[in-house]
Amino acid sequence: MSATLPDAVVDSAAIAAATSRRRSVWALAIRNPSVIFGGAILLIMLVIAILAPYLGTVDPTRIDPAMRNKKPDTVLTYRLDDGTQAKRTAIMGTDSLGRDVYSRVIYGTRVSLTVGISVAIIAVALGLAIGLISGYVRWADGIIMRIMDGLMAIPPILLAIALVSIWRAGLVTVIFAIVVPEVPRVVRLVRSVVLTVREEPYVEGAISVGTPTITLMWRHILPNTVAPLIVQATFTAAAAIIIEAILSFLGIGIPPETPSWGNIMAEGRTLFRVFPHNIMYPGIFLAFAVLAINIMGDGLRDTLDPKMSKKV
Amino acid sequence: MPDKKPVLEVRNLTVALPKGADRVHAVENVSFTVNPGEIVCLVGESGSGKSVIAFTVMGLLAKALKPTGGEILLEGENILAASEDRLRQLRCTRMSMIFQEPMTALNPVMTCGEQIDEVLETHTKLDAAARKAKIIAILTRVKLPEPERIYASFPHQLSGGQRQRIMIAMALVLDPVLLIADEPTTALDVTTQAEILKLIAELQEGQGTGVLFITHDFGVVAEIAHRVAVLRWGELVEMGPTEQILSRPTQDYTKMLIGSVPSIVPAHRGVRRDGETVLRTEKLGKTYVSKGFFQKGRTVRAAADVDLDIRRGETLGIVGESGSGKSTVARCIARLIDPTEGKVYLGDTEIATLPPGRLRPHRRKVQIVFQDPYRSLNPRMTVGDSIVEGPMNFGLSRSEALARARTLMETVRLDPNALDRYPHQFSGGQRQRICIARALAMEPELLIADEAVSALDVSVQKQVLELLDEIRQRLKLAVLFITHDLRVAAQICDFVAVMSQGKVVEYGAAEQVFGAPRHDYTKALFAAAPGRHWDFSKASAA
Amino acid sequence: MLDFIARRLIAIIPVLAVVAIFVFLMLRLTPGDPAAVIAGDNATSDQIAMIRGKLGLDLPIWQQFAIWIGDMLHGNFGESFFFKKTVVELIQQRLEPTLALSICTLIIAVFTAVPLGVLAAYRQGSWIDRIVMGFSVLGFSMPTFVIGYILIYIFAINLGWLPVQGYVRIGVDFWQFLERMVLPSITLAIVYIALLARITRASILEVLNEDYIRTARAKGLSTRVVLMRHALRNAAVPILTVIGIGIALLIGGAVVTESVYGLPGLGRLTVEAVLSRDFPTIQAVILMFSVVYVVINLLIDISYTLFDPRIRY
């Protein structure tokens, strides 16, 4: 996190010292039990998402009218393309169109993680850029913050719903519909860090030795935003996954044939009393994914950003 | 007094620090007594354990610290063995405490009256009317004007001195036998400090209260103490009557400490005003305007009509209490804030209104060292990187800048090989030296020291002051020295400007201003300086 | 004091303006002719032409905005072609369940979360603290509809204690109304409780580090008095702030909860409107929820003055 410098003359001791310090903060973070626990679950989820086709799944979009509404652990008989028959246990049952719930849940991991990670990255990147401008360009600050306040006045889920209704559903539109309400929160965070750090004597010291504004931001101010932003990114990812699931559940998110946890649950709503598995299994995965990210976020906040952990 | 039993007896007290601290014990084997009607000062630098002792007596020690040995007898009762309930009974009835920060020590959402009332409610069976009468009486005793109004006031409506009086009233309302005062005047301005010291002395003398007074300031010690205990690294160095400790200390540490206290008598510095003028301000001013919808916009004139000039090789001091505008002037000159009125000449160039682009070449000429050594260096950069940043901004290659940084580290008496370390690996005094080196790396013409030694312990302060003065002489620097500390100003300044409420009220050669102040405010300021009758240079000579 | 309220009132004007501009632009940003979008799929060309004239679509965009905002300020939110009613009527019909749900939830949440948070802070590090904090992370991670279905499964289907779904108006039968409010309110309250308990604990712990708490202890006050009289009141402002911010969570959660429990409220209306692309209704609902959110937070801001005498401007 220390400044990038023309590295030709930096002697080896300086490099060693710099890296050891950098490592120490991160070492503390990755040794935190919450970070390990949450990170491990998340890693498993990631592996599931990548290896989805190899985890005993079938085509998650394949409709089979003969296999509708089977309870978990039903043994299904498939007719394969070459005419032979194959048996397979549907450990999570099937839905009302005969699709295999297990396969859909496993593939659903892909959608949720994609949404969580993309929203976190895009929201943080946009928020960082806007926040820096807001914290440093005085005339822009007023306008930007009014717009951000306005966006924050619309409850996030409603804002996402509104945006989805404008753009029509689809993975990309859902991602952007979730990004928009998250951006103002990042902007505020970055701006407050910039405004606080700008008052620090070491920044004033840098100003009085004639450091140009761009360098000042890059070298003295930006590094202070990294820890809070990483923490913010994890919580944003968790919120994004929940909002995606809500939108899909309400039938206004990702197109229903795409296997996402929200969609599976939406499909299972009508027959919930008889076949609760359609809602329970994706629900468990969803809760676990979000829980893992939140626990990791808590751990990261405690280690990387102890000042912030006192707030929320 | 020997016939009376002591109110407080501390015997072989040892308090352990948590594992992993820089030493094993916060306090080790400390013994002393406080007699009725006596003021005992515990004096020491930061880390001496003086406040830990105070909190141990009150039973308010942080959980991480554990008393592991000795006993504390309050009127013969061992407090270390007392239950939490018993301690609560004793607090405010037999022993009371007042703290350093009157601004934060009172609950902001309760009126002052309610807060004192709580004490009576908890510890007495008086009815509401009797309690109210008692509170009004104590408010009168601590000389607060309009006690009825003060009773109903919230802390934020009162000044720092008034809040400390509330604290004192709260502490003494039940006539405890022991009052513990933990740096009670450190956060206050010098004139307020004098009043509070006087009040404490009067009240304890009237009631025969024993006072355990914690301070780092030998001026305060000379002013108020009957007996003094000097602490260092948690151990008692020496103890005795004030007169004896201040003038005939036996231990080297005490001698060094007292010898470090700057004298209030200005040094003969033999100023010859022959250098060219480096800085001149003309009617410099800074006005802040805040807007309101129903009220008129409030304007605050932080500084107004300030005329100063400094020549090469001179030190000009600006002294004043908090809010006097002295730092505003410094920051305007360094163009960290933009002045709203007047002119600032650096040599022949007027820089008060220069736009940022044209200002940049002139930035090099004015460098500033700040008060807080812990926040003045970027914690993520090595000190070497911090020092070379400026020269490299002005076109020096990294190797040239590093060579200069190595030389400067020697100038400020630090190991040049320490350039690749991070600020947290240095002490406060060392960091302040690094800040000086960073400023000097720009080869400035004017060095501004904004309360640069105020956060340092007195022995470190002395070294940094000597260093600054030596550098000024050697490099023929012009120095603008901002301080609230009259003793420091007396030792380092050739000229002194006294500021009050944004204006310079007196301006002249240091010897003249200190020797024969003319303005009433200056006179009052000097009269309030604690221990002004005491010449600390006697001790180091002895 | 007046100055403070005036400042706050003036400060919400730009916020509401941004909301209004956003809601106005929504329709203009949708692909296709706004008039046709509003009229719906089965509209005749006459109807479309009439709407076009009403919206002033031939005028410059800022004039369209002026016409629109004028309509809004007169309480004229247009007509829903899908529901064949004016939007105002529609909202009036759907208001009660949402209002009832929100109020029940708020009451449950505040009265559970604040004591839990205080308790956790008071016993920091104990098992109570751990359980409260663990519950808080869990509650924050469970999506509202998953909680809803779990509760339905346990209490309505398996135990049969409470009805599964549906709504009975408060004026029709109070007990049946209450019976049907229990599960939805608890469902919606959980995330709120998680948030609020956490912030209460954190605020109190922060206040406990303040100098005046040390003073209170030095006065010989008991721990209980220190906590209740000195700590809680000073922590009130951050707790209130989060109650206000949490209203956004509540509104968002209401959309989901009403869908799960089949409550015919505004949240359900929002979803139906989006599914049928009924823009006048979507616009009105978003505008209304945002105004409510902003006004509640304004009231909370003003109420700070009751808790903290320092806030006067």
Task: Give the per-residue pLDDT at A306.
Answer: 60
Nearest to A17 among B371, B376, B382 (CB): B382
Query: Which residues make Cβ contacts (< 8 Å) with residue B186, sequence separation at least 6?
Result: B100, B215, B216, B217
Q: For residue B292, what pLDDT is reported?
A: 53
Dihedral angle over CA of B243, B244, B246, B249, nearest 10? 180
Which residues partner with B300 through β-bridges?
Answer: B288
Q: What is the pLDDT of residue A19?
A: 41
**Domain-embedded: residue A85:** no
Tens digit of each residue's pLDDT (9 = 90 or more) over B472-481? 988 899 999 9
The alpha-carbon radius of gyration of chain C (Å, integer) is 24
Q: How many contacts does A have with B, using Cβ atoms within 8 A? A: 87
Q: What sign results for the dihedral spanned by CA atoms C183, C184, C187, C192? A: negative
Q: Inter-chain contact A157–C251, Cβ cutoff 8 Å?
A: yes
Give the pLDDT of residue B95.
Answer: 93
Answer whether residue A15 shows pLDDT above 50: no
For the ranges A7-21, A258-272, B475-489, the maximum mean pLDDT occurs at B475-489
Please state, in angstroms and rounded to a whole number, the distance separating the CA atoms of residues C266 and C281. 10
Task: Kindly report, residue by residue over B249-258, the tens digit of the pLDDT.
Answer: 999 999 998 8
Structure tokens at B376: 């003045």
What is the predicted pLDDT for the residue at A81? Answer: 64
Judge whether B398 is closer than 8 Å to chain A, CB to CB.
Answer: yes
Q: Give the Cα-Cα-Cα angle A17, A18, A21 (nearest 5 degrees).
A: 85
Buried b (16+ CB within 10 A) or exposed e, B138-169: bbebbbbeebeebbebbbeebebbbbbbbbbb
- The secondary structure of B466-505 as a DSSP string is HHHHHHHHHHT-EEEEEES-HHHHHHH-SEEEEEETTEEE
Task: Convert the pLDDT of each residue in A108-148 to its tens digit.
Answer: 899 899 999 999 999 999 999 999 999 888 888 888 999 99
Which whole number is the average pLDDT over C35-40? Answer: 74
In a domain, A300, yes or no: yes
Q: What pLDDT, in 10s, does the model give residues B396-438? A: 899 999 999 999 998 888 888 889 888 888 888 899 999 999 9
Confidence of residue C279 (pLDDT cuts 50, 70, 90): confident
**Structural domain for A120, as ranges:** 4-62+100-309
| pLDDT confidence bin for B392, thresholds 50/70/90 | very high
Q: Give A119→chain C minimum CA distance, Å.
A: 17
Structure-derived torsion over alpha carbons of residues B127, B130, B131, B132, reported in degrees to the nearest 10: 120
- pLDDT score, position A114: 92
Vertex B398: Cα angle to B396 and B404 (nearest 5) = 75
Q: Alpha-carbon distance B138 to A297, whole Å?
A: 53
**Interface contact B377-A202, CB threshold 8 A:** yes
Confidence (pLDDT) at C312: 62
How many helices (H) does chain A have, and how many strands (E)? Answer: 12, 2
Q: What ipTM did this prediction achieve?
A: 0.86
Mutual orientation of helices B520-528 and B190-207 as an angle, nearest 10°?
Answer: 50
Pairwise CB contact (< 8 Å): A286 & C16:
no
Q: Domains in chain C, ordered, with CATH? A: 93-307 (1.10.3720.10)
A11-15, B239-243, B504-508, B509-513: least confident range: A11-15
The gap from C-alpha B410 to its chain's centroid, in whole angstroms, comes to: 29
- pLDDT tens for B283-301 read 999 998 876 555 556 788 8
Chain B nearest C-alpha distance from C75 (Å): 30
- Window 221-260 of C, Cβ < 8 Å to A: 242, 247-249, 251-253, 255-256, 259
d(CA B44, CA B215): 7
Q: Which chain A residues in 121-150 lie under 8 Å from chain B, judged by CB atoms?
A: none
C-chain CB neighbours of A293 within 8 Å are: 141
Q: For residue A310, which residues of chain C lie inside 8 Å, CB to CB?
A: 202, 205-206
Tell me, yes or no, whether A73 lies in a domain: no
Q: Where are the beta strands (DSSP E) in B125-247?
A: 178-182, 210-215, 227-232, 235-241
For C77: left if phi > 0, alpha if psi spans -120 to 50, otherwise beta; the answer is alpha
Q: How many domains does one find in chain A?
A: 1
pLDDT tens for B341-366 read 999 999 888 988 888 888 888 888 99
CA distance B114 to chain C (A): 11
Q: How far apart are CA A220 and CA C244, in angstroms?
A: 35
**If DSSP codes are grouped into helix, strand and coil, which group holds residue B209?**
coil
User: Which residue, B116, B16, B10, B22, is CA-closest to B54?
Assistant: B10
pLDDT at A96 over 80: no
> Are the CB atoms for B353 and B344 separated by under 8 Å?
no
Which residue type occupies C158?
N
**Sign, Cα dihedral of B61, B65, B66, B72:** negative
Give the whole-angstrom CA distance, residue C18 versus residue C294.
Answer: 12
**Neighbors of chain B with 3 or more C-beta pairs under 8 Å:** A, C
Single pTM value for the model: 0.84
What is the C-alpha to C-alpha distance for residues C91 and B95, in angstroms, rounded to an integer? 66
Question: Hey, are the CB atoms on A2 and B380 less than 8 Å from each other?
Answer: yes
Å between A100 CA and nearest CA of chain C: 20
Of the pLDDT bands very low, low, confident and very high (cuts 50, 70, 90), residue C177 is confident
Q: What is the DSSP string of B354-367?
A: --HHHHHHHHTTEE
Q: Mean of the pLDDT values across residues A5-24?
A: 37
A70 inside domain: no
Task: For residue range B92-108, list pLDDT tens digits in order.
Answer: 999 999 998 888 899 99
Per the structure block, which two tokens stand in for A96?
Answer: 């009302």
Q: What span, in angstroms and rounded, lies between the C-alpha atoms of C14 and A182? A: 20
Binned at pLDDT 50, 70 and 90, residue C30 comes out as confident
Q: Which of B375, B419, B421 sits opposite A200 (nearest CB)?
A: B375
**Cross-chain residue pair A158–C141, CB shorter than 8 Å:** no
Q: A78 to chain C, minimum CA–CA distance in Å?
A: 32
Contact C298, C96 (CB under 8 A): no
Q: Which member of C6, C211, C216 has the closest CB to residue B101?
A: C211
Classify residue A87: in a domain, yes or no.
no
- Whether the per-residue pLDDT at B160 is higher than 80: the answer is yes
Tell which residue, B367, B338, B319, has the closest CA to residue B504.
B319
The dihedral formed by the CA atoms of B287, B293, B295 and B296, expressed in degrees to the nearest 10: 40
Per-residue CA distances from A47 to A50, A282, B44, C246 (Å): 5, 17, 61, 35
Q: Is B59 exposed, middle or buried (0-12, 13-18, 19+ CB in 10 A)?
A: buried
Neighbours of chain C (3+ CB pairs under 8 A): A, B
Quote the percentage of chain C above a pLDDT of 90: 19
Q: Domain for residue A89, yes or no?
A: no
Q: Is B408 on the interface with A (CB under 8 A)?
A: no
**Is residue A82 included in any domain, yes or no?**
no
* H or E stretch at A78: strand A74-79
pLDDT of residue B408: 92
pLDDT, mean over chain B = 89
Q: Domain containing A254 — which CATH number?
A: 1.10.3720.10
pLDDT at C313: 47
SS3 (DSSP) at C204: helix
In angstroms, what separates the C-alpha of A23 from chain B's closest C-alpha? 12
More confident site: A81 or B536: B536
What values do phi and psi take at B52, rounded to 5?
Answer: -60, -40
Residues of B with Cβ-Cβ distance to C220 under 8 angstroms = 87-93, 119, 122-123
- Residue at A147 is within a domain: yes
* pLDDT bucket at B133, cuts 50 / 70 / 90: very high
Alpha helices in B208-248 (DSSP H): 218-224, 242-247
Q: Which amino acid is at A207?
A: I
CA–CA dist B98, B80 (Å, integer): 20
pLDDT at residue B291, rounded to an integer: 62
CB–CB contact C212 B119 (8 Å): no
Contact indicator for B270, B496 with CB cutoff of 8 Å = no
